[in-house]
Amino acid sequence: MQVEQERHIKTAVKCEGISKTFETKRGKTYVIEEVSLEVIENEFVVLFGPGQCGKTTLLNILAGLIPPTKGMVVVNGKPVISPGPERGFVFQSVSLFPWLTVMGNVEYGPKVRGIDKETRQKKAQYYIDLVGLKGFENAYPNQLSGGMKQRVGIARAYCNEPVVMFLDEPFGALDAQTRYLMQEELIRIWETEKRTVLFVTNNIEEAVYLADRIILLTNSPVRIKKEFVIDLPRPRDYTSEDFLLLRNTITKMMDKTL
Amino acid sequence: MIVNKRVQSSAAAAVSIFMFLLIWHLATRFSELGNILPSPIEVLTAFFVGFVVPVGTHTMFVHIVWSLSRVIPFYILGSAVGIVLGITMGWYPKAEAVFRPIFEIIRPIPPLAWIPISIVWFGIGEGSKWFLIFLAAFITVTMNVYTGAKVVDPVIVRCARMLGANERQIFTTIVLPSSVPFIFAGLQVGLSSSWATVVAAEMIRSSEGVGWIIISSLDVNDTVQTLIGIVGIGTVGYVLAIIIRGIESKLCKWNKRGI
Amino acid sequence: MKKGMKNLLLSTGSLTVFLLLWWICTDILEIVSPRTLPSPLKVFTTFIDKLTNKNPDGGTLIMHTLSSLRIALLGYGMGIFFGIPLGILMAWYSIVDLFVRPLFDLLKPIPGVAWVPLMIILFGIGLLSKATVIFISAIVPCVLNAYTGIKQTKDVHIWVAKTLGATNTQMLFKIAIPTSLPYIMTGMRVALGQAWVTIVAAELLASTIGLGFMIQQSRGMYRPDIIIVGMLTIGFLGSFLTYLLGLLEKAVVKGWHT
Amino acid sequence: MQNRDNIKIKVSNLTKKFGDLLVLDNVSFEVRNREFLCVVGPTGCGKTTFLNTLTKLYEPTSGEILVNNEPVDLKRHNISYIFQEESTMPWLTVEKNVSFSLEIKRKTRAEIKKSVEEVLEMVGLTKFRHYYPNELSSSMLQRVVIARAFVTKPELLLMDEPYGQLDIELRFKLEDELLRIWKQTGTTVVFITHNIEEAVYLSERILVLSLKPSKVKKELVNHLPRPRNIIDKDFVTLRNQVTELIKWW
C-alpha cells in the first residue's frame, strides 16, 4: 500500500548520477560527482553546503542552463536539455533588465512567449502585488533598493508560470535584518502560490527557516552528504529550542572548507 | 544647498571668462601683440555683425547653414551604418571575423588623411566632403558600438533565455537596448569627429562654410575673420553636443551613468 | 580552440577576397582606371620605391615620416606635460576647478584643425605653428581624462587615509593619482590619436614636408598610388604608436582589472 | 567604579544633520579602555554616519567627542577604521596595502618591515604578499583590510559590519580571530552591525540605536562567559531581548 500511495504524489524534479567536470589548463577538475536526488511537487528543498562548493553549478544543471558531463535530469516528466520557461530562475545577482521598468521586467517572460498584452499585464500586476511592490510598476531598477530588486526577480520568475522555481542564493547580498524579512516574505509568497522550489544557500539559519527538506552537500567535489527532513511548524521561530538544536547539528555535520 | 553650488560655479565661470577677456584686451591694447591680434571687443562685435553683413560671399548664418547641411545628413547616414555594423560585429562572431580585418585597416587612418583620395574619387565639389563626413561618423560610431555590443552582461542574457526568449528575441530585446549607452557615446564622439572633418574639408577646398571663413582669412591676413570663424565653429560644435546629450538623457533615463 | 581557428580562417579568407576583388577590378578587368584606383600590386611596388626615391614630391617616405613624427611627438609631449598636471589640479583643488574649467570648456568644442589658420598667421607655416596646433589638440583629452580619473577616487579610500591622519598632499599622491592612472593612460591614447590627426591636417594645408604634404602633393600629380601608400603609412604608424602606449600602460598600471 | 582616566571615548550630545535631514539626534555614551563595544541598530539607522561622525570624517553638527580626554584628532590619535565597503587599494600588492598605514604615519623602513611581517603572519597572508587585490577572494580581501588596521597597533579600532557578506563558517572563524587579536593587542573596539547574533557573540557591552533620526535606545551589559555558544539558553535570551528593541520586519 505504501508504494501505491507514493506513486500518486507527482515527482517534480528527478536526476540520476549527475557529474560535472571542467577542463582547465591545469587538467580536469571534478565539481560534481554522482548526485542523484528527487524532489516531489510543491516541496521546498534547500541545497545547503559551505562556501562556493559547486552548489550553483548543480542548480544550473538542474535548471538546464549548463549540461552535465554525465547523468540526466527530468523535470515535470520531460528530460532537461536547455533552459525553458517551465523552470523559473532567480540569480544571485538578480540582474534585472536595467532598461525596463518593474512592470516591463515582470511581464518579459510572457511577452517573449507571445502572450497578448492585456492578459500578461494583468498577470504581471498580480505577481507585483503578491511580492509587495504595488505602486512601483513604473520604477527603473536603478531606483530600487537591494530587497526590492530581489522581489522583482522573484515576481519575474513567478510570472512565467514555471512548474519549478530555482533560486541561487538570492538574499546573499542583503543585510542580516532585511534577509530575515525576505525569508518570511518568500515563504508567504510560496504558501500563496505553491510551486516546487530548489533553493541554494550557504546560510544555515536561512536553510532551516525555509526548507521542508535540506540536502547537505559535501565540499568540492559536490556529493550528497546527508538529507534532513525539517518538520518544524510554520511560521518558524529562529530562536526556538528545536530550531537552534537542528541548526547546530547540521552545522557540525558540515564539511570544513578552511 | 545645491542651488547655490550651481550659482557659485556659474558666477566663478563668468568671473574667469571676464578676466580672460580683460587680460586679452589689455595685452592687445598695451603691447605689440596688438598689431597681430585683434582685441576681444573687436572680435565679438565682428562676430555679431557677421550675421548681418556678409563675411566674404555669405553672412555667418549662411556659412553655418552650409556647413551643417554638409554635416548633418552624412553624419546621420554614417552613424546609422556604424550602428548596424557595430552591433552585428559585436554580437555575431562570424560577422566579426569577416568585417573586423578590413575595418581594422581603415580605422587607424584619420578621416582627414582621406581628403586627397576622396577628391580623386569624388572631385573637389560636395561629393568628397560628404564622403569624408560619412567616413568620420562611420568609423567612430562603429568602434564604440562594437565594444558596447561585445560587453553585454552574460547573466542578463541567461536570464532572458531562462524566461524563454529565442535567439532573435535575445538580439532585439537584450543586445540592442544594452548597447544604447554605447551608441550614444559613439554618436557624441562621431559628431565631434564629423564636425572637425567638415571644417578641414572646407579648409582644403570650398567657397562657403565655417571652414572656408578661417582659411580664406589667411589670404587676406585678417585675424578678426579667423577668430570669428573659430568662435562660430566652437559655438556650433558646443550646441550640437548639447543636442545629442539632451536626446540621450530623454531616451536613456534608466542609465543614470550617461556619459 | 576549434572555434577560434574557424574564425581565424574566416578573417584571412575575407581579407584575401577583399584584396583579390581590388586586384581584379584594377589590373585584370580594368573596370577602374589606374588614375583613380591603383592596383594593390602597384601600391606595393610604389611603397618599396618610395622608401628611397625622392620624387615626385621631393622627399622619401622615410623623410616625410620622420618630419611628421618629430612635430607630432613634440606637440604631443608638451600636451601631456602640461595637460595631465592641469587636469589633476583642476580635479583636486576646487579653486582651480572653479576658475580654470570654464576657460577649458570654451576650448573643448573647437576641433584642433580649426587652429591651423590662426597659428599660421601668428607663427608662419614652420614647425612652431604646427607644434602649437598639435599641443592644443593633445592637451584637451589629457586634461579631460586626468580630471575624470581623479574624480573617480573612491570616498572609502579617502576615509582610510584620513583616519590614519594623512595630509592633503599625501592623499593626492597616494590615493587620487594612483586611482586616476588608468584614465590618464586613456587620455594619453586619445591625445596621441588627436595629435596624429592634426599633424596630417596641418601638413595638408601648409607645409613643405611630411606625410600630409606628400599625399596632398601626389594628388596634384595624379599619383593615387602614393596617396594610398601615404594613407596606409599614416594608419600603420597611428596604430603602432598606440600599441607602444599600450605596452607602457601594461607596465605602469598594475593590478587594475581592466 | 568609573574612574576618570580609563575612559577611552566620551561622546556627549552628538548631532549630525545633512541639510535639514537629521540623522544623529543627541547621542551620548562612553567606551572604557580595552572594551569591546557593539553598536546595533535597525536597517537604515545611519550606522555609517554614526562612525564617520565619531571620527570627524563627517563634521558633526554639534556635540563633543573626546578620546583620552582630548578632542578627537585623527592626526594625533592612533585610530583604525574598517569600512563596510571593500577598501583595499587595487593598485597595491597585499604587502603594500598593509604597509600603507605605516607609510602614511611616516614610520621608518625597518619598523614598517617588522610590523608588516608580524601582522601578515597573524592573519595568514604571508604567502600572498605579492598578490594584487583582483587576484584574491572576498574573504582574503577582508583579511588584508584587517591586517592594515592592526599593523599600526591602534588604541581605538572602529569596524562597520566587516563580515556582512561572508558565509557563516568564515564569519565564525574571523569573529574568533578578531576576539583573539583584541585580547592580544588590548585595543578598544567599537563594532557596529545589523546582525544581532554577531553583536551578542562579540560584545562586552551593547549599544542599541533607534531608527533614523537615531538615538541611543538602550545600553545592555553582556555578562555571558567566553567562549560563548550561540545555542545556549542565556545567549538566546539576550539575543531575543535585543531583537525586541530593534525588530521592524
Read off the C-alpha cell for C153: 577616487
pLDDT value at A227 more than 60: yes
**Are D2 and D73 part of one and the same domain?**
yes
Flag if D231 and A204 touch (Cβ within 8 Å).
no
Scan for cell 533565455, then name that residue.
Answer: B161
**Are A248 and A166 part of one and the same domain?**
yes
**Are A157 and A168 part of one and the same domain?**
no
Flag if C110 and B233 touch (Cβ within 8 Å).
yes
Per the CB < 8 A criterion, the answer to whether D40 and D242 are in contact is: yes
C60 reaches D (C-beta below 8 A)? no
* Amino acid code (one letter) for B195: W
pLDDT value at A5 more than 70: no
Q: Has residue C12 been placed in a domain?
A: yes
Closest residue by Cα to residue B163 from A91, A188, A126, A116: A91
Confidence category of residue D5, pLDDT binned at 50, 70, 90 = low
When CB atoms are compared, the residue of C14, C111, C211 closest to B196 is C111
B23 reaches C (C-beta below 8 A)? no
**Are C68 and C118 part of one and the same domain?**
yes
**Are A44 and A117 part of one and the same domain?**
no
Chain B residue nearest residue C219, CA to CA: B116
Closest residue by Cα to residue D143 from D158, D168, D124: D124
Tell me the C-alpha distance between D222 and D245, whole Å.
Answer: 15
Question: Which residue of D48, D143, D169, D242 to mutate against A (max A Cβ within 10 Å)?
Answer: D169
**Are B174 and B56 part of one and the same domain?**
yes
**Are D27 and D109 part of one and the same domain?**
no
pLDDT of residue A31: 87
Q: Has residue A157 been placed in a domain?
A: yes
pLDDT of residue A214: 95
Mean pLDDT of chain B: 89
- Complex confidence, ipTM: 0.84
Q: What is the pLDDT of residues A60-69, one digit of tens each?
A: 999 888 899 9
Q: Has residue B49 been placed in a domain?
A: yes
pLDDT of residue A4: 47
Give chain C's domain count: 2
Laid out side by side, the sheet with D21-32 consists of: D21-32, D7-18, D62-67, D70-71
Cα B95 from chain centre: 28
**Are A100 and A206 part of one and the same domain?**
no
DSSP state of C36: T
pLDDT of residue A53: 62
**Are A170 and A153 part of one and the same domain?**
no
Flag if C197 and B114 touch (Cβ within 8 Å).
no
Asked whether at least 3 C-beta pairs link A and C within 8 Å, the reply is no
pLDDT of residue C1: 55
Confidence category of residue B29, pLDDT binned at 50, 70, 90 = confident
- State phi, psi for D170 to the nearest 5 degrees: -70, -40
B101 reaches C (C-beta below 8 A)? yes
Read off the C-alpha cell for B96: 566579426
When CB atoms are compared, the residue of A51, A181, A239 closest to D249 is A181
> Is the model more confident about B6 or about C114?
C114
**Are B5 and B104 part of one and the same domain?**
no
Give chain B's domain count: 2
pLDDT exceeding 70 applies to what percent of chain D?
98
**Are C6 and C59 part of one and the same domain?**
no
Confidence category of residue C173, pLDDT binned at 50, 70, 90 = very high
Q: Count how many pairs of residues, chain A against chain B, have C-beta atoms within 8 Å.
A: 62
Q: Which of 216-255 (B) contact C at CB < 8 A?
A: 217-218, 221, 223, 226-227, 229-230, 233-235, 237-238, 241
Q: Give the range among B203-217, B222-236, C27-41 with minimum mean pLDDT.
A: C27-41
Read off the C-alpha cell for C85: 598636471
Our CA-based measurement puts residue A254 at a distance from the nearest CA of chain D, in whole angstroms, of: 9
**Are D123 and D206 part of one and the same domain?**
no
Closest residue by Cα to residue D197 from A48, A244, A50, A46: A244
Domain end point (choices D153, D173, D191): D153
Question: Which residue of D49, D56, D104, D148 to mutate against C (max C Cβ within 10 Å)?
Answer: D104
**Residues contacting residue A147 through CB under 8 Å, at least 6 positions apart:** A174, A178, A181, A182
Per the CB < 8 A criterion, the answer to whether A170 and A153 are in contact is: yes
**Are C18 and C61 part of one and the same domain?**
no
**Are C140 and C15 part of one and the same domain?**
no
D58 reaches C (C-beta below 8 A)? no
Residues spanned by the domain of D45: 1-78+156-249
**Residues contacting residue A70 through CB under 8 Å, at least 6 positions apart:** A17, A18, A19
Q: Has residue B258 been placed in a domain?
A: no
Q: Has residue B90 been placed in a domain?
A: yes
**Are C114 and C232 part of one and the same domain?**
yes
Give the mean model confidence (pLDDT) for residues B30-47.
86
Q: What is the pLDDT of residues D104-144, one digit of tens each?
A: 999 999 999 999 999 998 888 999 999 999 999 888 898 89
**Are B48 and B27 part of one and the same domain?**
no
Q: What is the pLDDT of residues C119-156, one digit of tens each?
A: 988 888 888 999 999 999 999 999 999 999 999 999 99
Flag if B217 and C117 touch (Cβ within 8 Å).
yes
Tell me the C-alpha distance between D237 and D249, whole Å.
Answer: 19
**Are C123 and C221 part of one and the same domain?**
yes
Q: Which residues pair with D11 in a beta bridge?
A: D29, D65
Give chain A's domain count: 2
Residues spanned by the domain of C12: 1-32
Scan for cell 546527508, then name that residue.
Answer: A226
Tell me the C-alpha distance between A181 and A176, whole Å.
Answer: 9
pLDDT of residue C55: 77
**Are C66 and C89 part of one and the same domain?**
yes
Q: What is the pLDDT of residues A64-116, one digit of tens each?
A: 888 999 999 998 888 888 888 889 999 888 889 999 999 999 999 999 999 99
pLDDT of residue D2: 44
Residues spanned by the domain of A140: 94-161
Our CA-based measurement puts residue A126 at a distance from the nearest CA of chain B, in whole angstroms, of: 18
Q: Has residue A258 been placed in a domain?
A: no
Our CA-based measurement puts residue D228 at a distance from the nearest CA of chain A, in whole angstroms, of: 14
Q: What is the pLDDT of residues B90-100, one digit of tens each?
A: 999 889 988 98
What are the chain B neighbours of C211 within 8 Å (beta carbons)?
A: 113
**Are B53 and B113 part of one and the same domain?**
yes
pLDDT of residue C256: 67
Read off the C-alpha cell for A144: 530600487
Flag if A177 and D249 touch (Cβ within 8 Å).
yes
pLDDT of residue B256: 59
B26 reaches C (C-beta below 8 A)? no
**Are B123 and B137 part of one and the same domain?**
yes
Radius of gyration of chain C from its Cα atoms, rounded to whole angstroms = 23
* Amino acid code (one letter) for B133: I
**Are D213 and D228 part of one and the same domain?**
yes
**Are D169 and D46 part of one and the same domain?**
yes
When CB atoms are compared, the residue of B17, B106, B241 closest to C109 is B241
Q: What is the pLDDT of residues B108-148, one digit of tens each?
A: 899 989 999 999 889 888 999 999 999 999 999 999 999 98
When CB atoms are compared, the residue of D74, D87, D133 closest to C156 is D87
When CB atoms are compared, the residue of C165, C166, C256 closest to D90 is C256
**Are C130 and C9 part of one and the same domain?**
no
**Are C9 and C103 part of one and the same domain?**
no
**Are A156 and A167 part of one and the same domain?**
no
**Are A118 and A49 part of one and the same domain?**
no
**Are B67 and B189 part of one and the same domain?**
yes
Q: Has residue C258 been placed in a domain?
A: no
**Are D166 and D187 part of one and the same domain?**
yes
**Are A112 and A206 part of one and the same domain?**
no
Q: Has residue B171 been placed in a domain?
A: yes
Mean pLDDT of chain D: 90
Tell me the C-alpha distance between D220 and D244, whole Å.
Answer: 13
Our CA-based measurement puts residue A205 at a distance from the nearest CA of chain D, in whole angstroms, of: 9
pLDDT of residue B191: 94
pTM exceeds 0.90: no
pLDDT of residue D3: 47
**Are B220 and B127 part of one and the same domain?**
yes
Q: Which of 149-178 (A) contact D at CB < 8 A?
A: 172-173, 175-178
Q: Has residue B205 been placed in a domain?
A: yes
pLDDT of residue B258: 35
**Are D147 and D163 part of one and the same domain?**
no
**Are B91 and B196 part of one and the same domain?**
yes
Find the CATH number of the domain harbouring B200: 1.10.3720.10
Q: Which of 173-232 (D) contact A at CB < 8 A?
A: 173, 193-198, 230-231
Give the mean model confidence (pLDDT) for residues D35-54.
91
B140 reaches C (C-beta below 8 A)? no
Flag if C156 and D83 touch (Cβ within 8 Å).
yes
Per the CB < 8 A criterion, the answer to whether D146 and D159 are in contact is: no
**Residues contacting residue C141 through CB under 8 Å, at least 6 positions apart:** C83, C187, C190, C191, C194
Read off the C-alpha cell for B158: 541567461
Flag if A112 and B173 touch (Cβ within 8 Å).
yes
pLDDT value at A2 more than 70: no
Per the CB < 8 A criterion, the answer to whether D153 and D123 are in contact is: no
pLDDT value at A6 more than 60: no
Our CA-based measurement puts residue C246 at a distance from the nearest CA of chain D, in whole angstroms, of: 17
Helix (DSSP H) and strand (DSSP E) numbers for chain C: 11, 0
Helix (DSSP H) and strand (DSSP E) numbers for chain D: 7, 10
**Are A25 and A153 part of one and the same domain?**
no
| Residues B156-191 as b or e (16 or more Cβ within 10 Å = b) | bbbbbbbbbbeeebbbebbbbbbbbbbbbbbbbbbb
Read off the C-alpha cell for C199: 599633424
pLDDT value at A7 more than 70: no
Residues spanned by the domain of B22: 1-37
**Are C6 and C69 part of one and the same domain?**
no
**Are D64 and D167 part of one and the same domain?**
yes
Q: Count how many pairs of residues, chain A against chain D, have C-beta atoms within 8 Å.
A: 56
Which chains reach chain B with 3 or more Cβ–Cβ distances below 8 angstroms?
A, C
C256 reaches D (C-beta below 8 A)? yes
**Are B102 and B53 part of one and the same domain?**
yes
**Are C20 and C140 part of one and the same domain?**
no
Find the CATH number of the domain harbouring D244: 3.40.50.300
Q: What is the pLDDT of residues A163-219, one digit of tens each?
A: 999 999 999 888 889 999 999 999 999 999 889 999 999 889 999 999 999 999 988
Give chain D's domain count: 2
